[in-house]
């Protein structure tokens, strides 16, 4: 079974469901991340609750990551392509694993490319297929339909360039694949993963951490 992420139209900037764009929902005391390369504020990319079916909350070890967790992803878009924002450890992107309890919208930095041009809802849909390419084929019977498919939740990553699963900075274990994401439904309001790239999200249940990278 593969859980696809499907474009579900525009939504509110603080919508609690899975979405790209808008403003992040973060715990108290959160400091908006900046880019290690250019120093600018990162763009908020993805709000992804893991409590949907297929969100792999059931597989959390020792309850360290359970239902109700949220992955939040940021990346530098101040000068796309110049900050190595594809790199999981380069400091030009940042991913977090938050407990959903008590999250709220922070103040958005006044300067920099901090928000996507649209807030796009994602919905999950389970497809009886062994992997992402097979699920895409099974779900989308034409080009218009395949454009709606924005990635997958859980399962196995469909790498463009080969396995780059990051090791957790906290415990050095291979991180758990959590989701992959297309650049966006409408390129005029999308993130840039190098042009037709795919973003990959990983988490470490033990360390309560997350990582992001993209390939194209």
Q: Interface residues with Zn ion (CB under 5 A)? A: 35, 37-38, 76, 78, 83, 92, 168, 170-171, 204, 206-207
Least CB distance to Zn ion at residue 71 (A) = 15
Mapping DSSP onto H, E and C, the string for the chain reads CEEEEEEEEECCCCCCCCEECCCCCECCCCCCCECCCCCCECEEEEEEECCCCCCCHHHCHHHCCCCCEEEEEEECCCCCCCCCCCCCCCCCEEEEEEECCCCECCCCCCCCCCECCCCEEEEEEEECCCCHHHHHHHHCCCHHHHHHEEEEECCCCCCCCCCCCCECCCCCCECEEEEEEECCCCHHHCCCCCCCCEEEEEEECCCCEEEEEEEC
Q: Give the residue with the Cβ less far from Zn ion, 102 or 170.
A: 170
Q: Residue 43 or 118: which CB sits closer to Zn ion?
A: 43
Nearest-approach distance from CB 104 to Zn ion, in angstroms: 26
Cβ proximity to Zn ion: between 1 and 64 the closer is: 64
CB of 35 to Zn ion, least distance (A): 3
Residue placing its CB nearer to Zn ion in the complex, 83 or 88: 83
CB of 76 to Zn ion, least distance (A): 3
CB of 172 to Zn ion, least distance (A): 7
| Comparison of 35 and 118: residue with beta carbon closer to Zn ion | 35
């Amino acid at each position: 079974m593969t859980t696809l992420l499907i474009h579900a139209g525009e939504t509110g900037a603080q919508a609690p469901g899975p979405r790209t764009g808008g403003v992040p929902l973060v715990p108290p005391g959160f400091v908006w991340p900046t880019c290690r390369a250019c120093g600018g504020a990162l763009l908020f990319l993805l709000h992804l609750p893991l409590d949907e079916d297929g969100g792999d909350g059931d597989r959390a070890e020792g309850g360290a990551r359970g239902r109700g967790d949220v992955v939040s992803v940021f990346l530098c878009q101040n000068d796309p392509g110049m900050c190595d924002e594809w790199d999981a450890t380069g400091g030009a992107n940042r991913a977090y694993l938050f407990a959903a309890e008590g999250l709220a919208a922070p103040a958005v930095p006044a300067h920099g490319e901090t928000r996507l041009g649209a807030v796009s809802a994602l919905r999950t849909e389970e497809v009886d297929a062994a992997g992402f390419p097979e699920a895409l084929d099974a779900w989308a019977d034409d080009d218009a339909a395949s454009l709606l498919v924005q990635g997958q939740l859980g399962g196995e990553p469909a790498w463009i360039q080969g396995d780059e699963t990051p090791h957790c900075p906290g415990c050095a274990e291979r991180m758990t694949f959590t989701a992959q994401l297309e650049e966006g439904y409408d390129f005029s309001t999308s993130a840039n993963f190098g042009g037709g790239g795919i973003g990959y999200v990983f988490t470490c249940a033990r360390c309560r951490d997350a990582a992001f990278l993209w390939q194209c």
